[in-house]
Structure formats: C-alpha cells, structure tokens
Amino acid sequence: MVFASKSSKPSATKPVTNTTYLCDRFRIRLVPSCQILHYCHQRPAIPGQEMGIVEDATEDLPFTSFECKTLAEMYDVPAEQRLQGRNATVKSYHTLAQQVHILHSSHHAESNSNPLESQLRLGDGSLTLGQLLTPGWRMPNLLEVFASACEVNFTVPTVTDDLLSLATGFLCAGARSVVSTQWSVDDLASALLAIFYYDGRRSGMSRCQALQQGQIKLRNLTGKEFADNYQAQLTEHLEQKLKEAKAAKQNAKDQGDEEELDKWIKIVDKFEIQRKRLESLSKEDFSFAHPFFWAGFVSQGI
C-alpha cells in the first residue's frame, strides 16, 4: 500500500530506457487518507458484477467507443446501461451509478485549483467533486469505478494533507475501489489498457493485480502484436467514426451553426491525425513502452 500525492507527468518526448519500475516488483494501491481507507473497510461486501458504461460524452474521443463496445460485449451490458455521447447526461449518470456494481466512466474530466470544482464533463454539463460529495450522490451498491478520463486523480493537497480528487469523491460516495488517471491520458493507450484490465479481472485477478498486469502488457505490446490483434479492428472503427464526424460537420454547415461547425471541424482533424497514427504503429517496436502511456493509471481503495 502506498500513500501518495500528485505525481508529475512524464514527458512523452524523453527516451525510454530498459528500466525496472516499481510496479514490476510490487502491486501498488493508493489511499487518499487513513479515514477513507477506514470507510472502505467498513462497507459490507456486495455480490454482483453488473456493469454500467458512460462513454465519450463530448463525442470527440476516437477510440473510446471501441473500448466501451468491447467491454459491453465482455460483460453483456444492456443498451440502457450504456450511456453514449449526449445521452450521458448528469441525471442519467446519477441513475446509472445507483444501479450497477461496476461503473466504467470513459470521457473527459478536468482538474481545478479549487478541488471541489474539478469535474467530469458530461453530455449536458458537468458533475463536480462538490456535487459528488453530497448525500444525494451516495452509491451504496457500487463496488468499483474505472475512470478512464483525463486528470481524475489530479489533486491539490490542502493544509490538512487530505487529498481531494474526483477519485476521492467516488470512494467517499460508496465505491470500494477506483482506477483513475493522474494526467491527460492517451485515448488509444487507455482503450487498450482498459480492455487488458477487465480481461485480468474476469480471469480472477484482484484490482491492483489486473492493473499491474494490464500496464505490463501494454508496455510490452510489439508493433507486430498490435498489427495482428488490433490494427484492423481499430482502423475499421475509426473509419466509421470519421464518416459520422464528416456527416455531422456537413449537417452543421447546412444548418448555418457556426459553433457546431467549428466543433466538428476540430473533431474531423483529430480523427484524421489518429488514422495516420494507426498506420504507423505496426512499424514501431514498442509503441506504448513510455510511462506517459500507462503510468497515469492508479488503483485506489481496497
């Protein structure tokens, strides 16, 4: 068990060396405070593996829906428990979180110098840490949260040394465990890591072990393995996303909606950059070996 504050973001431009990392030798679990650890241990065990998914609320993440579609098939998630795009409203998020045992939350989040204003960005607005800490957001049936979003665990220490983050908020609201991110993570690497993590969980691994093994698998993924197992599926997925984005861009242009048009121009540009990236990944030895791609994910709770 490790008690830790904010980690600095590693530069993706620095060279990768043959380094043995702490997570190669130990399974690491973070705890924001002893009080929160006590809360987690006091909660009764709840049987169940029912999953709910919240994905790409802003519709601009190229690989998140591939990730979530894969998880939905793994866990037989019904359509009503998979909130996609603008359907991922604050109200529907609240309802879903009350119903499921596992919440996979894959979308944008933002930290704030005022921790209570840190937020999950949803289809019709935001869910702040301040809201998450209120009695109305208690989630007594929730076992674990995987927050595959930017900066969910980015924290600012207070004078009391308590660490406030969105991950802390989920633990206080009832979750026993939270896998969260410490910086703006790469969407493709995050999608693969999430799939590896849940593969581990389904095979009987503990949460911190599944995260550890998922990170190691991502680091060691060769260009050939990527090409053989993922490239074709991801390319097909991205082509469909690009087609939909171009249609939305044209519709915004036809409607004369300048704000919406500007949004979709940026999304199309982003997706086209990722298409070129997909073409090159199979030529690289270890595309995701740098800590930037995998070390941002941490396991908290029990």
- Contact between residue 99 and residue 80 where contact means Cβ atoms under 8 Å apart: no
Tell how strand 144-147 and strand 156-157 pair up. Answer: unpaired
pLDDT of the residue at 10:
52
Residue 254 phi, psi (nearest 5):
-65, -35
CA distances to 47, 67, 69, 79, 292 from 73, in Å: 21, 10, 6, 11, 28
How high is the mean pLDDT in each 10-residue block of the chain (302 residues)? Answer: 41 56 84 81 83 96 97 97 97 96 95 90 95 94 87 45 79 92 92 98 94 96 96 97 97 96 97 95 93 94 86
pLDDT of the residue at 182:
86
Q: What is the DSSP secondary-structure string of 251-295?
A: HHHHHT-HHHHHHHHHHHHHHHHHHHHHHHHTTSS-TT-SHHHHT
State how far the Cα of 170 lies from the Cα of 172, in Å rounded to an integer: 5
CA distances to 75, 157, 158, 162, 249 from 52, in Å: 9, 31, 33, 29, 30
CB atoms within 10 A of CB 206: 15
- The per-residue b/e assignment along 113-148, b for 16 or more CB within 10 angstroms, e otherwise, is eebeebbbbbbeebbbbebbeeeebebeebbbbbbb
- Contact between residue 104 and residue 71 where contact means Cβ atoms under 8 Å apart: yes
What the block records as the tokens of 231 is 């490239």
Tell how strand 144-147 and strand 177-181 pair up. Answer: parallel
State how far the Cα of 29 lies from the Cα of 302, in Å rounded to an integer: 8
Look up the pTM and report it: 0.88
CB atoms within 10 A of CB 250: 12
DSSP-derived secondary structure letter, 155: -
Nearest CA to 144 out of 71, 60, 63, 215 is that of: 71
Nearest CA to 188 out of 72, 267, 294, 94 is that of: 294
Single-letter code of the amino acid located at 42:
Q
| Strands of the 119-122 sheet, one edge to the other | 109-110, 119-122, 125-128
Contacts for 176 with CB less than 8 Å, ≥ 6 apart: 40, 43, 142, 143, 144, 301, 302
- Contact between residue 75 and residue 104 where contact means Cβ atoms under 8 Å apart: no
Nearest CA to 81 out of 64, 105, 61, 58 is that of: 105
The sign one gets for the Cα dihedral 12, 14, 20, 23 is negative
What the block records as the tokens of 233 is 């599926």
Which class would CATH give 22-221+291-301? alpha beta
State how far the Cα of 255 lies from the Cα of 30, in Å rounded to an integer: 49
pLDDT of the residue at 102:
97
